[in-house]
Amino acid sequence: MDTKVRVRFAPSPTGPLHIGGVRTALYNYLFAKKHQGDFLLRIEDTDQNRFVEGAEQYIKETLEWCGIPYDEGPGKPGNCGPYKQSDRKEIYVEHVDKLIQSNNAYYAFDTPEDLEVKRKEAEQDHTKFSYGPKNRNQLNNSLTLSAEELQTKLDNKEDYVIRFKTKSSVTLSIHDEIRGFIEVDSEVLDDKVLFKSDGLPTYHLANIVDDHLMRITHVIRGEEWLPSLPLHISLYEAFGWETPKFAHLPLILKPSGKGKLSKRDGDQLGFPVFPLEWKDPKTEAISSGYRDEGFFPETLVNMLALLGWNDGTEKEFFSIKELTESFELERVHKSGAKFDPEKTEWFQHHYMQEMAVSKLVQEFSIILKDKGVDVQQAYVEEVVEKIRERAAFVSEFWELSSFYFESPKEFDSKSAKKAWKNDSQEWMRALIGKLESIEDFSQIHVQSEVKEWINTQGLSFGKIMQPLRLALVGAMSGPDVFHIAASIGKEDSITRLNYAIEKLA
């Protein structure tokens, strides 16, 4: 085995990538980079019946958006390609032949109807049919046929599959990097199909051959593959190859903690379970994605990293660099991790405050353009700096800041009832006179002048500040009212006050 760490993410292009798959890719990436190794992407598309157009591109786009790029894979050739299993058929034929020659695999000619009969017979005996060491010598396969009978069947091109020949009465001792040692009695295993009647390998054969030829040192994958581990270890032994280290990651669970997180959970509870929006090519149904819902990739990566792993401290915010430095397989949990939509938004709010203003301005400018707003970038930057502490998503910026860009046409009824009193009209006219006299309309100066004026009039601050805010904003919300006034300028501030006096009279 190579001393250099090499790991792979090997999804099937059967639809959009679940966030559980993204987490698997992330853990592989972090482990590889922690050990100065290679992270490969391999597309496992041998199941042509489940192939979905556009799924492969979706996988690649997801990894790029998340900031977990692969070193080798489709479009990034290394020395171990091709990286799509559908392009490697001849390799699998060659290797399954080796297993047959070494008596580790055999041809099976049993028809689906034959096997269904066996299953029903087993049900009548209150047992379960399993094609394996206990009964394979009574079934229609090359183990029970003479060489001549086998050749005749092959010459006649009878349908067959190739099955692995599981060892009889052997206890397999298997080690998992997360779960420790596991012992399995080979008698409970069946002879899995390695090659299908359509001439394509099953996942089991293709996966092992590819991992060996691509020099994979560590197989880090979801726990749904744990039952396949005895077969995969046995295949390595049958080929006479050194076995990589295996680590099976815990499930991402529903928010309730009961069962694996699914698309249905997201649909019912109102959160995405896919990284990017997905449009089904057949039904044209659209599934929401984190990117399209306005989440930052940093949010998704940080959240997923902590779903099943921690660094042993209370630290919760990690950059990709910090994750790489801290990540260890030994600290991955054995039990499933509950998904928490609210915690995800908490991460999002944090990264909103950390994000470069220039990036936020770039995204907000698209919204402003759609609203027909044309202002200087420096002005937008100032507004974003002021409002982002109240926001988790850029999509919230307009609601939080529209008054910086256009005058309110309506006034919130509850706010008006609270802020606009019988004498507010009179005092707002007086305030207009004061504002007209202020030459330096900077925030600090306006604040100083207006507060001094309020004191000289013997008024409470609420008497003036509440109706002023209502006039400028349209509601009792928003940042410092003097910042708003200074930002929109003297003329606009006075225009808004006059409009409020007229509208709320």
The three-state secondary structure class of 286 is: strand
Q: DSSP assignment, residue 141?
A: B
Token pair, residue 390, equals 């109240």
Q: How many angstroms separate the CA atoms of 25 and 30, rounded?
A: 9
Distance (Å) of CA 323 to CA 8, 61, 235, 309, 311: 18, 21, 34, 10, 9
Give the chain's length: 505
Residue 263 falls in the annotated catalytic set: yes
Instruction: Label the pairing between strands 171-176 and 38-41.
Output: unpaired
HSE-CB for 38 with a 13 A CA cutoff: 19
What percent of the residues of the chain are helix, what percent strand, and what percent coil, each to the nearest 5? 50, 10, 40
Task: Check 196, 263, 343, 463 and give the catalytic one.
Answer: 263
Give the gyration radius of the chain's Cα atoms.
33
| Amino acid code (one letter) for 271 | F
Token pair, residue 370, equals 């759609």
Is-contact 183 172, C-beta < 8 A?
Answer: yes
Q: How many angstroms separate the CA atoms of 244 and 216, rounded?
A: 7
Residues acting as catalytic residues = 263
